[in-house]
Amino acid sequence: MVRDLAAEQGRAVVVLHGAADPARSYEENRRATVGLLAWLAEAAERMPGEVLVGLELGAMKPDRPAATARSRADVLALVQAVDSPRVGICWDLAHDCENAAHEPGWTPVPSAEFLDRVVHVHVHDLGDDGASHYPPLLGRVPIAEQLGALAARRPLPSIIMEVRWRCAARLGDPWDLLGESYRRVGATVAELTRR
């Protein structure tokens, strides 16, 4: 399927989470993540079109201290450890904002080094219940500012909305909310392409 998408569209991104096995140490999970990324990078090299692997920046969970890719620094270090142009970062904007409380000096816009490795972006918001994957309409995640930081990067990474139906349903009619979300995110992305 990935091969077909890359051949048809010229580019495909496979997104994965870092290893988070609670029965393993952080170091074991780190080695497993780097090993999988390296294997996928080699496989991607053999596929037609441009196949990229995006390691998703996840939210820190106090009950999962051995989980990998749960901070900007960690996801960047894991991607750099593989040292392949086929491996980059999936920047989940809401999970990044969730991590602000755990990252001293956090700002909405990461370093240029981080942004240069972004190959895919997940856009969603945070609910007042603390859950993520709400429609990007609530304003708890500075989506326009964060996406704006990617304006100088070409090609732009792929950008998708990652909204859970149940989160949208808590706010109103999910179809209406998804439509409005699409219009807003679409307008922001259109603005990026004009810069």
Q: How many Cα atoms sit within 13 Å of 64 on the Cβ side?
A: 14
134-152 residue pLDDT tens: 999 999 999 999 999 998 8
State residue 137's pLDDT score. 95
Q: What is the CATH number of the domain that holds 147?
A: 3.20.20.150
pLDDT at res. 153: 80
pLDDT in tens, 16-59: 999 999 999 999 999 999 999 999 999 998 887 888 999 999 99
User: pLDDT value at position 6?
Assistant: 55
Distance, in Å, from the CA atom of 122 to the CA atom of 95, rounded to the nearest integer, reads 9
Look at residue 101 in the predicted model and tell me its pLDDT. Answer: 87
Residue 22 is part of which domain span? 2-194
Does the global pTM surpass 0.95? no
Phi, psi torsion values for 118, nearest 5 degrees: -75, 125
- The whole-angstrom separation of Cα 166 and Cα 89 is 27
132, two tokens: 């993520």
Assess contact for 167 and 137: CB atoms under 8 A: no
pLDDT value of position 113? 96
Percent of the chain with pLDDT over 70: 94
The per-residue pLDDT for 5 is 59
Digit-coded pLDDT (tens) for 1-14: 666 655 566 678 99
Strand ranges for the chain from DSSP E: 11-16, 50-56, 87-92, 118-123, 125-126, 132-134, 158-161
Q: How confident is the model over 52-103, as pLDDT tens digits?
A: 999 999 999 888 889 989 999 999 999 999 999 999 999 999 999 999 988 8
Using CA atoms, how far apart are residues 70 and 61, in angstroms rounded to an integer? 8
Say if residue 130's pLDDT is above 70: yes
pLDDT of residue 166: 94
Please tell me the total count of domains within the chain. Answer: 1
**Mean pLDDT value of segment 158-166:** 94
